Structure 1
């Protein structure tokens, strides 16, 4: 059987890529669960997961935490391996650490996606994976800077698992700069939502795209 670049087929020689959606935050700055903000025909996390499914990952892991019961009642998590991070208040690194054990043991590459960044497209993930070559870590180089999604080869997973704090992934990129490939993508870094103003900007972008 033929396989695709995400390793969804049976050929063991193909790279097996997993997607990890980080959606465990408590939305302290926003004051309401950002995962459940109305967006398009559903809620914000529905849109992010729809994009992730379109990427054709061999496995899709969803990390939830804050208000996870309401999130799981509302959001379509079909096709996801859901991990509940009880320690979500310790930052996104705690969600990564909680989710990594759920990965298939033969996972070659993990792509990190943010649950509050609906502007990322499947094509961005495809470009990231195509452009990473053999790099241990790959990031997207947009017109205005570095942004998600990020890709991590299996060799980097122990370092990911050992991170602490909310900005620890960025610190890891600095510490492992020699291992990081920057993959050019068009346009600015897609917006993520932390405030009501961010949400309005994201909705404006959606309206312009329709």
Structure 2
């Protein structure tokens, strides 16, 4: 089975006033940390979408092993998934969609999802956490035509919940991993991280207070990885 990982990193951060992709996150940038998780999944192909802050992000984030798709109009509500589909390898059986500001998703969650949708194959798969549905999500290649009709990336949920296609729900451990949509969300994201366990536990982080205007950090150097398809 050929699986493409699609990491969405093109949307803007109107409630933050700075690119969320470059927020400091435990010695890394937020997007860089999530990209590390995506690499751990060992997808056959890895695609990352970037929006209007692409130039700034390229200066600080290492995209080794991933193909970057520019989606400059994502900031105005256009879907970054639509242009990304043009970069998907023709051999793929489907895509796993991940969010660039959600580093709490684990590779185990991703491959539990893939294992369930692989046999018998279903068009849509979604992770079912204790407090609701969330990413990663799976879309088989038979749905690429539908995905090309998306007005914005959030419309994925209309496709998932619309009832027009069979849906596989796969149990995931804990609650939906936090994101960084606002400064309060960002504080919770950082304070809920337990480095030793690699998991999110509310109140577990005992580091310094989160800076409300964090300075983006340079990414760590990494060894060369498998070339993206």
- So what's the TM-score if we normalise by structure 1? 0.88
CA distance in 2, matches of 1:22, 1:176: 24
Aligned residues: 195
Residue of structure 2 in register with 1:43 after alignment:
29
CA distance in 1, matches of 2:185, 2:195: 15
Ranges in structure 1 where 5+ consecutive residues have no aligned partner = 1-14
Residue deviations 1:2-51 (CA, integer Å, cap 9, x gap): xxxxxxxxxxxxx1000001000111112111100001221001111100
Question: What displacement does 1:163 show?
Answer: 0.7
Report whether the alignment pairs 1:111 with 2:69: no
Task: Give the 3-state SS of the residue equivalent to 1:62 in structure 2.
Answer: strand
Counterparts of 1:112-151 in structure 2, within 5 Å, are 112-132=97-117, 133=119, 134-151=121-138
Question: What displacement does 1:89 show?
Answer: 2.2
CA distance in 2, matches of 1:90, 1:175: 25
Question: What displacement does 1:207 show?
Answer: 4.1
Residue of structure 2 in register with 1:179 after alignment:
166
Q: More helix by proportion, 1 or 2?
A: 1
User: Which protein has greater RCO, CA pairs closer than 8 Å, 6+ apart?
Assistant: 2
Q: 2:49 is matched with which residue: 59, 63, 70?
A: 63
Counterparts of 1:1-210 in structure 2, within 5 Å, are 15-91=1-77, 94-132=79-117, 133=119, 134-176=121-163, 178-207=165-194
Question: Given that residues 90 and 166 in structure 1 are in contact (C-alpha distance below 8 angstroms), is that contact kept between their aligned partners in structure 2?
Answer: no
Ranges in structure 2 where 5+ consecutive residues have no aligned partner = 198-229
Task: Give the 3-state SS of the residue equivalent to 2:168 in structure 1.
Answer: strand
- So what's the TM-score if we normalise by structure 2? 0.81
Task: Give the 3-state SS of the residue equivalent to 2:191 in structure 1.
Answer: helix
